[in-house]
Amino acid sequence: MPGPVIVIGAGSIGIAVAYYLVRHHRVRGVILVDPLDPMSLTSAQSGENYRNWWPHPVMTAFTDDSIGLLEQISAESGNRINMTRRGYALVTRRAAPTELIDDLHRGYGVAAGQLIRIHEGQGAGASYTPPVSAAWDQAPDGVDVLCDQALIRRVFPTYAPDVATVLHIRRAGAISGQQLGQVMLEAIRAAGGRLLRGRVAAIEGAAPFALAVQTADGPITLRADRLVNAAGPFVGEVAALLGETLPVSCVYQQKIAFADRHAAIPRTLPFTIDLDGQELSWSEEERSILAEDPAAARLLAPMPGGIHCRPDGAADGQWIKLGWAYNTEASDPHADAPSDPQFPDTVLRAASRLHPALKAYIGHLPRGAHHYGGYYAMTAENWPLIGPMQTRGAYLAGAMSGFGTMAACAAGSLCAAWVMGGALPSYAPALSPGRYQDTAIMSELAAMRTRGVL
């Protein structure tokens, strides 16, 4: 009798793999192995956002599928996952951002003509629906490109007046990642699955496998015909137990969250990203202090765009989140988190360029503000790795950098299909480890202007 399927890692991705093994393939007795509580590491630091726009149609199709599965869970659970849809607003001061429009067309592929709506000149905005409602089943699809500054000022009055273009991605919003995990765990347990608290110390064989697991009660051995490496920032470590290496690095990214007591950010604002690079406005004294610290001196140079801002929690709440994934240095997830005490001030200064009302918090961050971070486990091209590993019977679901929450459902469904020999979507080979043997797709990825890191 075949052994159970074992999933190593109980973050959002590992839980989703187990959930779709149960839901789509009726697998019973799935075992999730993790030394920590479910969704307590990287998944706990998620921005909890989702979007269906990427600069390549493969990733667009993948996240579109994932959003569809999120919608299904939302509908079936009475929206326990708190799914909302006010969109992503990608903002720039460029009046004619041709390359951004080209990225939209490339990402949406053959459907771009029906999905991209340009609002400019006389009558701009006549067919544009502002993001007033948060209901995901009432929001439009596609993307509205606002090129008229009068329209932008009317719809988004708290943006700085120099904003010239807003790309409003409409199939985008937020969910509660923790609630999604709970819904999935309930279904897994109902199908006889369980969570084992322990660290996988060794793996013997290809299928069938013998896993040596260190638990609080001592070492045990688990046996399985199939296993899934969904270990988040530790996917490379688990792969090494199988004698394999993965092209994955871990990059630590930070965020802050605090109560917006000055109401600087409207509660109806979409998840907003300032695409434009900038030089931060430091005083001469601050510049002198930063220049003395090699780690901080980089903040004096021109910085990339990508500053995030959005209201967090209920519509009548106060909290907001700010993030900026400007770090590019890989680090060891076993080591102490390389948290930068300068980050809260840095991100506030950067975000206040687009949201001038945030300047009130520079040097005056409210008591109880939360400075946190998590690891982006990512490939060089910023595409996930989902599918068979080299070892027979072993599968991989990882390298989802900053998009694990939005991609969890599709990643879980796709990996479960690989494990069980089910039907695969057309993009499955491109997202599998096998893509590195496909010179055409790798050449295409190497030539892309952007990797979709937001």
- Domain definitions of the chain by residue range: 5-48+177-248+380-446, 88-172+250-378
Q: How many CB atoms lie within 10 A of CB 182?
A: 16
What digits encode the pLDDT tens for the residues 66-82?
Answer: 999 999 999 999 999 99
Return the pLDDT at 138: 92
* pLDDT confidence tier of residue 428, bands split at 50, 70 and 90: very high
* pLDDT confidence tier of residue 122, bands split at 50, 70 and 90: confident
What digits encode the pLDDT tens for the residues 325-337?
Answer: 999 999 999 999 9
Q: Is the pLDDT of residue 4 over 70?
A: yes
Q: Is the pLDDT of residue 99 over 90?
A: yes
Mean pLDDT of 157-184: 97
Mean pLDDT of 180-187: 98
* pLDDT confidence tier of residue 44, bands split at 50, 70 and 90: confident
> To the nearest whole percent, how much of the chain has pLDDT over 70?
99
Q: Is the pLDDT of residue 188 over 90?
A: yes
Q: How many CB atoms lie within 10 A of CB 111?
A: 15
Does the structural domain 5-48+177-248+380-446 have CATH classification 1.10.150.530? no
What digits encode the pLDDT tens for the residues 267-281?
Answer: 999 999 999 999 998
Return the pLDDT at 367: 92
pTM: 0.95
What digits encode the pLDDT tens for the residues 353-390?
Answer: 999 999 999 999 999 999 999 999 999 999 999 999 99
Return the pLDDT at 1: 38
Mean pLDDT of 272-301: 92
Return the pLDDT at 3: 60
The mean of the pLDDT values for the chain is 95
Mean pLDDT of 302-317: 93
Burial of 344 (0-12, 13-18, 19+ CB in 10 A): buried
> To the nearest whole percent, how much of the chain has pLDDT over 90?
89
Does the structural domain 88-172+250-378 have CATH classification 3.30.9.10? yes
